[in-house]
Each structure stands twice: as structure tokens, then as C-alpha cells.
Amino acid sequence: MRSHAGRLSWRCPSNCSVRARTRTFARLVATLLLTLAAAARAQDTPTERDAARDVLRKMSALEQSLDVPGLVSRLTGPNAERDQVVARARELMDKELLALADDIATHPEIGFEEKRSVGKLIDYLQRHDFSVETGSAGLTTAFIAKYRRNNGGPTLGVIVEYDALRGTKGPFHGDQHSAQGPSASRRQSRCRSTSLARRRQAASSSTARPAKR
């Protein structure tokens, strides 16, 4: 875990398993809850305690509703469908999306001038069954992409940036905006793979189900 300008972040090694990632995330959630609760209880004036009382009540309800041990058990247990989706997302990242991120990083464009970056992202999305609407909000380099074959699956909205920073020697990507678009494409692909897997499973169950008489 690292701290950047007051923000906590955690990065798992590339060979980190899905279960290890999930367990670590669950521990982070539990640690955050305990830290917030401890901070709220540390209030030592009547006014502060009165203000914190409602926060403590909500924190307690949230902690119980999350059921962290149960969440860890569910997310780290065997799940062939999840593993298939994760494998597909990793395949896309390794074979296509990292190269796309590197390409955008080596051709930085500042805000409102990201024509090449937008073209690369749109081309990739269209090749993967997304419809793309350009010129969103009157901005020539903004767009909205929607998956064409969702068919009632879960809806996931992702906002990304792909502009570069302005530097004394020219624009550059110093805050990973170059990877936000490819990373979002991976998330959408995972959602799409999950939706397709569930539809296949439903079709298989429907075929195997005996007819009612």
C-alpha cells in the first residue's frame, strides 16, 4: 500500500491471484471501517460526541451490512465463471490494451486536442461491438460508447480521461490518463463476458429443463 498526497492506494503484483487480490481488498475495507470508527469515537467534547453519535450508528450499520467475513468467503471461493471472465480480461490486456495504452502515452495530446487518442479508442471499441457517439456535450474529443449486445445484462458506466499534462518541454502523460481508456475497455469487456456467460448458462438450463405437463 502506498500513500500519494493523502490518498491511500494499493497495487497487487502482476502474478497476484484473484483470491489474494480479493482477500487484500476485504482487509482494506475492514481496516478502513475500524479506522473511521476509532476516529469517530476519539471525539472528546460533548458537541463532538453528539455530532459523532449518528456517524457511529451509521458506521455500525454499514459494518454489519457488509458482512466482511461472508464477503471474503464468497469472493475467494471457487467460481469458474469469474475465473473465465478474469482470464479473458487478462488476455485482452496482455495482447491488445497495454499496447494501446503505450501508444497513447508515446503520443501525448493535451485537453480538447486528443484527436489521435480518441481515434485509437473509438476504433478499438467499434471493433469490439460498441456503438460510439462523438461530440458529446459539444466537445469534439468527447464520446459515449455503448455495447450493442447487452440484451438486458448489467449496465456499467465508466468515465475515463485521455488528456496529457502540459510540461515545460511539451505534453506528457504523468498521471496514467493514457491507460484509463484501455483499462475501462477491459472492465467493459469483463462485464460483457459475464453477461454472455450468464446467457449461455441460462440457455443451457432452459434446454435441459423438462417440459411441464
As given in the structure block, the three cell numbers for residue 2 are: 502506498
- Same-domain check for residues 33 and 105: no
Give yes or no for a contact between 108 and 178, defined as CB atoms under 8 angstroms apart: yes
DSSP 8: E
Instruction: From 42, 76, 110, give the residue that closes a domain.
Output: 76
pTM over 0.75: no
Positive or negative: CA dihedral 13, 19, 22, 23: negative
- Same-domain check for residues 91 and 69: no
* Strand bridging mode 130-134 / 2-4: unpaired
Q: What is the pLDDT along the chain (213 residues), one digit of tens a residue?
A: 444 444 444 455 555 566 676 677 777 777 766 666 666 555 567 777 777 888 888 888 888 888 888 888 888 889 998 899 889 999 999 999 999 999 999 999 999 999 999 999 999 999 999 999 999 999 999 999 999 888 777 788 889 999 999 999 999 999 888 998 888 876 665 555 544 444 444 444 333 333 333
As given in the structure block, the three cell numbers for residue 19 are: 483470491
Q: Is residue 213 part of a domain?
A: no
- Give the integer Cα–Cα distance in Å for 183 and 144: 16
Give yes or no for a contact between 203 and 155, defined as CB atoms under 8 angstroms apart: no
Question: What is the extent of the structural domain holding 193?
Answer: 80-208
